[in-house]
Structure 1
Amino acid sequence: MAAAAAASNSVAPSGPVPFNDVDDGTVPEHTPKEEFGDLVASLPRREQSILELRLYQGFWLPEHWVPGTIVFQRRFSPRPDDVILASYPKCGTTWLKALAFATAARTAYPPASAGHPLRRLNPHDCVPFIDDIFATGEDAKLDALPSPRLMNTHLPYAGPALNF
């Protein structure tokens, strides 16, 4: 009887949950770099500073972003309540991630709580880069996150052209 009461009192975690706290125990058998290496190698290439760039869908992207971008575009299944923070690199993304996580998770993790995830984790560990999730084959982990899921990207928006 006590076990039944405990089971009825246990509540499934509600989101957002720090990405690093979700682990389904699986290791990807291959990475997108292996799967799409030939495609990436066939794209136009240029060097800028210390980066190797590839021209993908009209944008020069760091070469290491391209495989994850391809997999993200092909396999991502959004949920109606997903929150995706889109920002330029080096414009306050870490700060934005911390604010978004703290705001969205304020019920589950009160700000004064000693166990608040932002006291032990970097904001990048709480709100992951969605393209990195797919680049490293961790999309199963993303599926295990309860809603609402918080994610981030620096990828450009390649939507339909605007006609003025």
Structure 2
Amino acid sequence: MHKKEKLISMETSPLPKPKYLKEDGLSKECETLLSTLPTKSGWTIALYNYQGHWHYARQLQGVLSCQKHFQALHNDILLVTIPKSGTTWLKAILFSLLNRTRFHPTQDDHPLLSNNPHMLVPFLERWLYMEEENPDLSSFASPRLFASHLPYASLPKSVQDSKCKIVYLCRNPKDIFISLWAFTNKLRLQEMGTNSIEEVFDKFCEGVTLYGPFWDHMLGYWRESLKIREKNYFLTYEEMKEQPDLHLRKLADFLGCPFSPQEEKENMVGAILEICSFKMMSNLKVNKEGKLSYSEVNNNTFFRNGEVGDWKNYLTTEMVERLDKICEEKCDGSGLKF
């Protein structure tokens, strides 16, 4: 090949896909399972329905490995959300809360100042068990803090059978939809174009979204929180935004690490909320320029505006009525309201 031809070839060859869009390197078990599952076009990549919820291929491999190998300890803490419910914020809060004696929230070398929260509180099925079939978790400090987007019925049996505590963060589905629409459009490659809000709204209402249907996901944890309150803490994003100091104290009590009178005097609650604030985290260099090693997603995609009620700027009256009707019908009699 001549030098000029070689240059042209290099310029026109497609760039490698980021990890979050790859579907190769799957185990034989996963490939066999995928061939039997219902599949639909997703928001960025094909989705497969497993145990009543939608997953992409590499993530499903992580789900299978997690279900097979993860052994929960009685003092483990698991933060669960459906995507775009405020996961990044609550990861930061729980990490700061549980590690406040090791890392005071006002110290200059606090881990949150140089790490995205997703790197400090690892996802089980979307990182640890997606990278390795059976990772060694022995180096994690006690109590171990993990995160997951798994629906309750798909959690590893050891989680359901143990005394480990589950914190579930819920959010108004209308805001989840807008945040997810904006987020997934950032993940699409240029040649893929962007999803129209109308197209993905139909998918969302049909339950075809990552880990969806959203109503089944939320109701699963809501019902568990009513049955076993000492194990399951159900919190809404809206409540946390409205009274963050109150709910941070409640989380501390639930997790068995209440604030001491001395900590209250020193305003530990305020210090934690400050370092975990949207303004603080979104302006850090690591969150402006870095990316997640396990997925190659840019850190800045996790910080849009963090506001309640942003859906009002995007959804038509007809969209609002359709989504409200779905929520009313699906949650009827459950006690869960938005």
TM-score by length of 1: 0.72
Q: Which residue does the alignment assign to 1:113?
A: 107
CA-CA distance at 1:139 after TM superposition: 4.5
Query: Contact 1:45 / 1:54 at 8 angstroms: preserved in 2?
Result: yes
Instruction: Answer yes or no: is the 8 Å Cα contact 1:86–1:153 preserved in 2.
Output: yes
- 1:152 is matched with 147
Counterpart of 2:131 in structure 1 is 136
Q: Give yes or no for contact 2:121–2:147 (8 Å, CA) kept in 1.
A: yes
Is this contact kept in 1: 2:121–2:145, CA < 8 A? yes
CA distance in 2, matches of 1:106, 1:32: 39
| Cα distance, 1:95–1:113 mapped onto 2, change above 3 Å | same
Residue 98 of structure 1 pairs with residue 92 of structure 2: yes
Displacement of 1:61 after TM fit? 1.8
1:43 aligns with 2:50: no
* Distance of 2:145 and 2:83 partners within structure 1: 18
Q: Secondary structure at the match of 2:74?
A: coil
1:43 is displaced (CA, Å) by: 1.8
Q: 1:145 to 1:114 in 2, by over 3 A?
A: same
Residue 66 (str. 1) matches residue 65 (str. 2): no
Which one of 27, 35, 38 corresponds to residue 34 of structure 1?
27
Structure 1 residues 7-22: aligned runs within 5 Å: none
Question: What's the counterpart of residue 18 of structure 1?
Answer: none
Structure 1 range deviating more: 105-114 or 39-48: 39-48
- CA distance in 2 between partners of 1:77 and 1:32 (Å): 25
RMSD over equivalenced CA pairs, Å: 2.5
Distance 1:139 1:118, change over 3 A: farther
- Note the residue ranges of structure 2 that are not aligned, 5 or more in a row: 1-23, 155-159, 161-219, 224-332, 334-338
- 8 Å contact kept, 1:32–1:136: no
Tell me the CA shift for residue 72 of structure 1. 0.4
Unpaired segments of 5 or more residues in structure 1?
Answer: 1-30
Normalized per residue, the structure richer in helix is 2
- 1:131-156 deviation digits (Å, cap 9, x = unpaired): 12101107534232121111111111
Q: Which is bigger in relative contact order (C-alpha 8 A, separation at least 6)?
A: 1
Identity %: 35
Provide closer, same or farther for how the CA distance between residues 65 and 86 of structure 1 changes in structure 2, counting only shifts above 3 A.
same
* Matched residue type, 2:41: E
1:81 paired to 2:75: yes
Which protein has the bigger strand share?
1
Instruction: Report the CA distance shift for 1:107/1:32 in structure 2 as closer, same or farther (over 3 A).
Output: farther
Q: SS of 2:128's equivalent? A: helix
- State the secondary structure of the residue aligned to 2:54: strand
Matched-pair contact (CA < 8 Å) for 1:101–1:126: yes
Q: SS of 1:145's equivalent?
A: coil
Moved over 6 A (4+): 159-162
1:107/1:76 CA distance change after superposition, 3 Å: same
1:140–1:48 CA distance, 2 compared to 1 (3 A): closer
Q: Deviations over 1:62-117 (max 9, x none)?
A: 23321100110010001111110001111110000000000000001111112211
Q: Report the structure number with the largest CA radius of gyration.
A: 2
Partner SS, residue 144 of structure 1: coil
